[in-house]
Amino acid sequence: MIAAVVWSKNKTTALLQDVAGLKLEKVAVDGNHYLSEDDVIKAAALPLGESMFKLDLNGSLEKVKAMDWVERAFIERRLPRSIVISVRERKPVALLDNGELYGVDGEGRVLSPSPALLREDLPLISGAAGAAEAVGTTRTAEALKPALDLIAFLHKKDGVLAQDVSEINLGDAGSVKVTFIDGIQAHFDPPIEETDLKRMAMVLSDLNQKGRHAATMDFRYRGMVLVKTRGTP
């Protein structure tokens, strides 16, 4: 008798849910910037028309979390007929030039191309290959480390100078070539240290006093800086 009562109750609940029209009609996405709403909804694969109480929300959540841009995600029922997917995206610290522009976060994770990336004021990392094969992973993190370390170091020591970095080229093994927004190129041996920044500041100040402008600066030689100037404007 007890079993029959439980079965009857479950059957009645299911019937009430269907009769009440508690079926999924809308999926909304919150917190996305680099990912499109359509991409997130497609990944979640929640079937419209399904009973709100028969949806596999845990399965959908895992699919959303598997997206390369997603750091954290939550899925919430909003009765009577809606689901809201909230995401917190990874934060890119640089753009990676590999035929297309990819994002790179502070851990070296490669993030898939996104139209929103093209509107970001981020330094470009060039001279490193393999981005397409490494999307969603930190497989190329070691190769990108000199550039990522420089970006983190500059943000810590001189936020203004960090904003002036236009491109970091890793094409020459064992060295880093930095191009600033004013066109100056500086060559360093990684890791770049605070003494290198102080020497660069001294060189630029000295040139400014003399009315000259640097084209390239090479800090790879112990105890000296090789400077090529562009002359007076």
Could you read off the pLDDT of 143-187 as tens digits, one per residue? Answer: 999 999 999 999 988 888 889 999 999 988 788 999 999 999 999
- 110, 199: one domain: yes
Instruction: Give 181-189's long-range contacts (Cβ < 8 A, gap of 24+).
Output: 183/215, 184/214, 184/215, 184/216, 184/217, 185/215, 185/216, 185/217, 186/216, 186/217, 186/218, 186/219, 187/216, 187/217, 187/218, 187/219, 187/220, 188/150, 188/219, 188/220, 189/219, 189/220
Provide the residue range defining the domain that includes 109.
92-229
- 144, 223: one domain: yes
- 121, 72: one domain: no
CATH label of the domain that carries residue 16: 3.10.20.310
- 122, 218: one domain: yes
Of 89, 110, 141, which residue is a domain's last?
89
Of 89, 118, 139, which residue is a domain's last?
89
- 69, 153: one domain: no
Higher per-residue pLDDT: 156 or 68: 68
- 56, 118: one domain: no
**pLDDT reading at 34 higher than 80:** yes
**pLDDT reading at 13 higher than 60:** no
- 97, 180: one domain: yes
Q: What is the pLDDT of residue 20?
A: 59
- 82, 141: one domain: no
- 79, 101: one domain: no
Confidence of residue 16 (pLDDT cuts 50, 70, 90): low
Q: What is the pLDDT of residue 147?
A: 93
Mean pLDDT of 196-222: 87
**pLDDT reading at 5 higher than 50:** no
Q: What is the pLDDT of residue 160?
A: 87
- 55, 107: one domain: no
Mean pLDDT of the chain: 89
Provide the domain count of the chain: 2
Query: pLDDT digit string (tens) for 46-67?
Result: 999 999 999 999 999 999 999 9
**pLDDT reading at 124 higher than 90:** yes
CATH label of the domain that carries residue 209: 3.40.50.11690
- 177, 192: one domain: yes
pTM (2 d.p.): 0.83
- Cβ neighbours of residue 182 under 8 Å, at least 6 residues apart? 164
